[in-house]
Chains A and B, each alone.
Chain A
Amino acid sequence: DQQVKQNSPSLSVQEGRISILNCDYTNSMFDYFLWYKKYPAEGPTFLISISSIKDKNEDGRFTVFLNKSAKHLSLHIVPSQPGDSAVYFCAASASGGSNYKLTFGKGTLLTVNP
């Protein structure tokens, strides 16, 4: 049973426009969420995170929104640049117990066209 789902395997966006990547989760115990970016032949790179006590976190061109009632989070990239083309992974963890465990989604391939 996949607890973190990224239902869009791929997304294509024009340079300068907004990219919106979505992630849904089923485990209500998750309270910390992260986004990672992965280029081919490299490991995932930490991008931005959000705690469940917040509904928004912003870092430059990247903003993550959290909707706890819908168990949904999204990553907005504005403006999108060709260098943003990569696979984006959503991950979640829960405080308590094995709280170091990150549960990952399958990823969304973002292509930003010049």
Chain B
Amino acid sequence: ETGVTQTPRHLVMGMTNKKSLKCEQHLGHNAMYWYKQSAKKPLELMFVYSLEERVENNSVPSRFSPECPNSSHLFLHLHTLQPEDSALYLCASSLSRVAGPGGTQYFGPGTRLTVL
């Protein structure tokens, strides 16, 4: 595997379910990100981890819970979601969290989430 991978690619869940999204990067990067992309909206940054430490929680509801056990893996735990949470969830990684070439973010293919 190369680059950034995400599983599952598609997920349908009810509002009372608990599920997790997984992201893995094979680039040797130190920073990882979760984004949400809703229809006709720009990408919204949700969480940022740098060297496994959360450095940003962008006013995300507590029903979204991130976990970064090591610099290669990132999870997004979901519970009691709402239908408006249906979106494409993208994971990204960068070598470091700086502006410039070192901070260029590389994205995974995303998980298409539908909440019924």
Report which A residues bind B (CB closer than 8 A): 2, 4, 31-32, 34, 36, 41-46, 49, 51, 89, 93-95, 98-107
Chain B contact patch, size range:
20 to 34
- Residue B74 at the A interface, CB < 8 A? no
Which residue of A has the minimal Cβ distance to B41?
A: A106
Interface contact A104-B100, CB-CB below 8 Å: no
Query: In the bound complex, what is the Cα–Cα distance between A107 and B42 (angstroms)?
Result: 7
Q: Please list 24 pairs of residues, one from A and one from B, whose beta carbons are closer than 8 Å in the complex, sorted by A's number.
A: A2-B42, A4-B42, A31-B99, A32-B99, A41-B109, A41-B110, A43-B92, A43-B110, A44-B43, A49-B104, A89-B42, A93-B99, A93-B103, A95-B99, A99-B97, A100-B48, A100-B97, A100-B98, A101-B48, A102-B105, A103-B42, A104-B42, A106-B42, A107-B42
Q: How far is the CB of A59 from chain B (nearest CB, A)?
A: 13
Any A CB within 8 A of the CB of B31? yes
* A interface footprint on B74-116 (CB within 8 Å = 1, 0 otherwise): 0000000000000000111010111111011111111010000
Neighbouring A residues of B53 by C-beta, 8 Å: none
Q: In the assembled complex, how far is the CB of residue B90 from the closest CB belonging to chain A, in whole angstroms?
A: 5
Nearest CB in chain B: distance from A34 CB, A: 7
> Nearest Cβ distance between residue A12 and chain B, in whole angstroms?
19
User: Of B43, B48, B98, which is in contact with the most chain A CB atoms at under 10 Å from its CB?
Assistant: B43
Kindly report which residue of chain A lies nearest to residue B6, judged by CB atoms: A43
- B97, closest chain A residue (CB): A100
With A43-B107, A45-B107, A98-B56 as known contacts, state yes or no: A32 contacts B100, CB within 8 Å: yes
A44-B100 in contact (CB<8A): no
B45 within 8 A of A: yes
17 additional A-B pairs beyond A4-B42, A44-B107, A101-B45, beta carbons within 8 Å, are A31-B99, A41-B109, A42-B109, A43-B4, A43-B108, A44-B43, A44-B90, A46-B104, A49-B101, A94-B99, A99-B97, A100-B103, A101-B56, A102-B43, A102-B105, A104-B43, A106-B41
